[in-house]
């Protein structure tokens, strides 16, 4: 099969940057007017990073920053959100198999967070809030017979103690996949300084890592257009910034593939795989790492290009011997001809 694959950001959550505001002022201490000016400068510095009323305090709420999965099989990086469980991904609205709204889906609502091929998934981010302000939370949530989505907000004090919780959903667990709009409102508890927002994409299926995954065990729970707004000014979220690369400058990288071998047949099997187990003692084991899909073809594509590219789950060459993917791959990045 001839292919050229696209580079992608996989298996990670976006890292949020921080903003530091520094204001300096030279004052003549003998004159009162500059002192008043200094007070105004201090006030301006304290309020400069406040978000206007009605601002959505969440980063990447429509899942429009980062890559999307063509069919949902492969995981992608979701900037602004930390992955707390499963293998959530992002799909474009209208992707086959995923819930749809009863009416049209405007482009400004963005993409959809999806449960993915790793069982129940959770995405989390935190933001500052103003005590005693009115909050509004909203989201489009949906699922299938075996999946459901919900949004939970926990209000925390400076010490991390939970002072209150609000939840919308779950939506799903019905024969026809439908994307429903859910909303709730209330008051931020006194003493709360931040909110922890969690998208929970649940599935009752347990065979999501079996030989027929993702056909058999995929989590179709879906969420989109997530929103948290306040009735009073709150600290604006910092802008999304790419994380600093901390990859060492390796001279060589070797990949060993153990096709159709179970975990226990390699890891810990010092009799039949002594060399590999000796290498393992110098590194780590990725115990929460799963195949993109089965059969194997798309996994090799993901290794080379970071995505399954929506290839058929069966052998693509069997369906089309001329199957070609025109995209850059790791060979291009390494300068290979």
The whole-model pTM stands at 0.76
pLDDT on residue 114 = 97
197: left (phi over 0), alpha (psi -120 to 50) or beta: beta
Q: What is the pLDDT along the chain (337 residues), one digit of tens a residue?
A: 333 333 333 333 322 222 222 222 222 223 333 333 333 333 333 444 788 888 999 999 999 999 999 889 888 889 999 999 999 999 999 999 999 998 889 888 999 999 998 899 999 999 999 999 999 999 999 999 999 999 999 999 999 999 999 999 999 998 888 999 999 999 999 999 999 999 999 999 998 877 777 778 899 999 999 999 999 999 988 889 888 888 888 888 888 888 888 888 998 999 999 998 998 888 888 877 777 777 777 888 888 888 888 776 666 666 667 777 888 888 887 776 6
Q: What does the CA dihedral 97, 99, 101, 107 come to, rounded to 10 degrees?
A: -70
CATH superfamily label, 82-235? Galactose-binding domain-like (2.60.120.260)
Domain residue ranges in the chain: 82-235
Cβ atoms 207, 217 nearer than 8 A: yes
Q: Classify 278 as helix, strand or coil.
A: helix
Contact 99, 178 (CB under 8 A): yes
Q: What is the pLDDT of residue 315?
A: 64
State in Å, rounded, how far the first CA of the chain is from the last one.
17
Report the pLDDT value the prediction gives residue 245, as an integer from 0 to 100: 82
Q: Are 70 and 308 in contact (CB under 8 A)?
A: yes
Whole-number pLDDT of residue 337:
61
Q: d(Cα 174, Cα 91) in Å, to the nearest integer?
A: 21
pLDDT of 329 reads 85
Place of tokens 């995405």: 123
User: Among 273, 313, 316, which residue's Cα sits nearest to residue 97?
Assistant: 313
Q: What is the pLDDT of residue 37?
A: 35
3-class DSSP state of 169: strand
What pLDDT is attached to residue 291? 75
Say if residues 236 and 55 touch (Cβ distance below 8 Å): yes
Tokens of 27: 């004052």
């Amino acid at each position: 099969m001839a292919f050229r694959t696209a580079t992608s950001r996989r298996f990670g959550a976006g890292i949020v940057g921080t903003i530091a505001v520094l204001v300096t002022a030279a004052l003549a201490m003998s004159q009162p007017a500059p002192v008043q000016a200094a007070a105004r400068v201090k006030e301006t510095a304290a309020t400069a990073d406040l978000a206007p009323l009605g601002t959505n305090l969440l980063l990447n709420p429509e899942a429009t920053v980062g890559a999307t999965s063509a069919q949902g099989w492969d995981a992608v990086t979701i900037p602004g959100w930390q992955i707390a469980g499963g293998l959530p991904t992002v799909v474009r609205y209208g992707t086959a198999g995923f819930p749809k709204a009863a009416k049209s889906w405007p482009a400004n609502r963005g993409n959809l967070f999806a449960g993915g091929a790793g069982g129940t998934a959770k995405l989390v981010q935190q933001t500052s809030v103003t005590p005693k302000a009115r909050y509004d939370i909203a989201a489009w949530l949906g699922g299938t017979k075996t999946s459901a989505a919900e949004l939970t907000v926990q209000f925390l004090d400076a010490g991390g103690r939970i002072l209150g919780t609000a939840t919308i959903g779950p939506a799903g667990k019905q024969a026809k996949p439908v994307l429903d709009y859910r909303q709730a409102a209330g008051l931020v508890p006194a003493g709360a300084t931040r909110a922890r927002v969690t998208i929970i994409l649940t599935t009752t299926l347990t065979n999501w890592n079996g030989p027929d995954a993702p056909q058999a065990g995929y989590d179709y729970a879906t969420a989109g257009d997530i929103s948290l707004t306040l009735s009073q000014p709150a600290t604006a979220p910092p802008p999304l910034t790419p994380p600093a690369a901390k990859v060492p400058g390796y001279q060589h990288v070797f990949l060993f593939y153990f096709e159709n071998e179970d975990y226990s047949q390699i890891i810990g099997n010092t009799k039949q795989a002594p060399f590999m187990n000796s290498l393992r003692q110098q590194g780590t084991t990725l115990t929460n790492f799963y195949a993109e899909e089965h059969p194997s073809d798309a996994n090799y594509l993901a290794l080379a290009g970071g995505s399954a590219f929506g290839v058929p789950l069966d052998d693509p060459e069997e369906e089309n011997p001329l199957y070609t993917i025109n995209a850059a791959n790791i060979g291009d990045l390494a300068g290979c001809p």
